[in-house]
Amino acid sequence: MKKIKILPFLLLFSFAMKVNAASGIEKQPLPSGVLVRNIGNWEAWEIDFKSGETETKTNDPANSQVDVQAEVYSRPQKAIIIRTAPFWYANISGRKNANLEFWSNGGDIISKPKQSEDTTFIAAAPPDVDNRVTSEFLYALTKGRFPAVEWVGPKTYLGIQDIGKTPCMVFQKDDTTVWIDVSARVPVVWKKGDEIRIFKQLDAPSAMIKLPAVLEAARQKEKKVKAFLSSPAPRGG
């Protein structure tokens, strides 16, 4: 699959900071076909997050203890997504070097924080159950979709607007706006209030994703436990 050309990050960020979704939009008929395609079966993406939130100083002794879960789940700064269907991998980082990695074989989602000996099996919940950003990402990835664009449709369509030389469909719901590349049908910029997400396609993966050995061993153990718990109880003699 041909790699999609994405404008330089700084240009997109400058655009997203200044643009008014109601201005500069041409009222054109909604293009036909799928409005937002799924993540390809063999693709890699980077999503950068920017917001107006003031960063906490990392050298402040009062903030020396980092809650990795809180930083990554609620305040991510970058997400790297790699998909070699049915497997996928996500590396999501927050402020103050907080970082979590997630692997999936297409069914189970497994994470092992670097500072922990425990392997975590994650049940991805839909946004109406868990609206934290990373939860939203994991749920979308289980469906092979880009995150936070499930509301895109004819009723939220505003028109066409160019980002640089790239014509984009503009969709808006409440305070959230997303620009979708008309040709490629992928998100380019996503904006909600002062939060901005910039999407960039990376080079295609060079090999199939494999679960690290320690996670595969934990998955097999978990599988045996579930099979045991779901087996019928033996009848008494």
Tens digit of each residue's pLDDT (9 = 90 or more) over 42-63: 999 999 998 865 444 444 444 4
On whether the pTM is more than 0.75, the answer is: yes
The sign of the torsion formed by the CA atoms of 182, 186, 188, 190 equals positive
Cα of first residue to Cα of last residue in the chain, in angstroms, is: 62
**Which of helix, strand or coil describes residue 141?**
helix
In a domain, residue 236? The reply is: no
In a domain, residue 18? The reply is: no
- Residue 147 pLDDT: 93
CA-wise closest residue to 89 among 71, 74, 69, 106: 106
In a domain, residue 9? The reply is: no
The first and second tokens of residue 167, run together, are 């014509």
Mean pLDDT of 72-84: 91
28 lies in which domain range? 24-55+65-225
CATH of the domain at 176: 2.50.20
